Amino acid sequence: MDRDSSLIREALRQQLEADRLLGIKSVPILLPPRCGPDAGSRGGRLARSRTAAEQAEQLRIFNETEVKGCTKCALSDTRTQIVFGQGSPSARVVFVGEAPGYEEDRQGLAFIGRAGQLLTRMIDAMGLTREEVFICNVLKCRPPGNRDPSADEILACSPFLRRQLAIIEPEVLVALGAPAAKTLLNTAESIGKLRGRFHDYYLSGTTGEGPAIPLMPTYHPAYLLRNPAEKRKAWEDLQMVMRLLGLTLPGGTSG
């Protein structure tokens, strides 16, 4: 490990230790201010105070020290392994699903089953690769039989997701399905009503407080496999994300 990494590691260790002493279990990363004169407007990138290597290190340490071995809820009794999520720690876009399924629980990777294959095609269609985005879930452990996550499980696990997002600081979030959208936006609104427009995801966890990241809710790939006619709407949602990122849309225009 080089000297910078050691310093970051030591600073993080001290921060974790101080927060533990204060009884804080979920530690917010110090967030840099928004940059530019239109700070706070949609699509602006949060000013980066950290390099990609530092973000990778923070994510790794967070996983090692706080997520690994978690026993915050009863899913720890039935899981094969925790599915932290994977991709680029400095991704411009993060996709958030519901919870690992059978295959994900077996292999320890998010979205690698049938729904994951469709997600890969959706990401490809956007002109991106799985390696350059980050893919994770609200729950890091599989609910037995793929049942819906309980409110208690979401409450126990969502601080992990919030912390991941604070470290990655993506330009845009895509919430795949109702549980992800409802958790991140703290709403009871249906996915049908939420999708099709950007919402603000507040890194502080409190609506209206501090910097926000635009979040696009869309249908979960598993739902799309069962309801292929809805793929068109999901594609419209993803094209809005592409526009926000300035990616080239089908037909050659860029957003």
Provide the binding-site residues for ligand URA, judged by CB under 6 A.
97-101, 104, 110-111, 113, 115-116, 137, 222
| Distances, alpha carbon 163 to alpha carbons 28, 38, 48, 227, 253, in Å | 6, 25, 16, 33, 35
Least distance to ligand URA, CB of residue 142, Å: 9
Q: How far is the CB of 219 from ligand URA (least distance, A)?
A: 12
Minimum distance, C-beta of residue 99 to ligand URA, in the bound complex (Å): 6
Q: CB nearer to ligand URA: give 46 or 115.
A: 115
Q: In the block, which residue shows the tokens 């890091």? A: 140
Between 100 and 211, whose beta carbon lies closer to ligand URA? 100
Q: What is the largest CA-CA distance in the chain?
A: 56
Q: Which residue, judged by CB position, is nearest to ligand URA in the bound state?
A: 97
Helix (H, G, I), strand (E, B) or coil at 135: strand
- Which residue lies nearer to ligand URA by CB, 29 or 110? 110
Measure Cα distances from 250 to 231, 233, 236, 247 in Å.
Answer: 16, 15, 11, 10
The C-alpha atoms of residue 154 and residue 156 are separated, in whole angstroms, by 5
Contact 61, 9 (CB under 8 A): yes
Rounded distance between C-alpha atoms, residue 162 and residue 199, angstroms = 16
Q: How far is the CB of 50 from ligand URA (least distance, A)?
A: 27
Nearer to ligand URA, 108 or 205 (CB): 108
Least distance from C-beta 109 to ligand URA, angstroms? Answer: 8
Pick 90 or 137: Cβ nearer ligand URA: 137
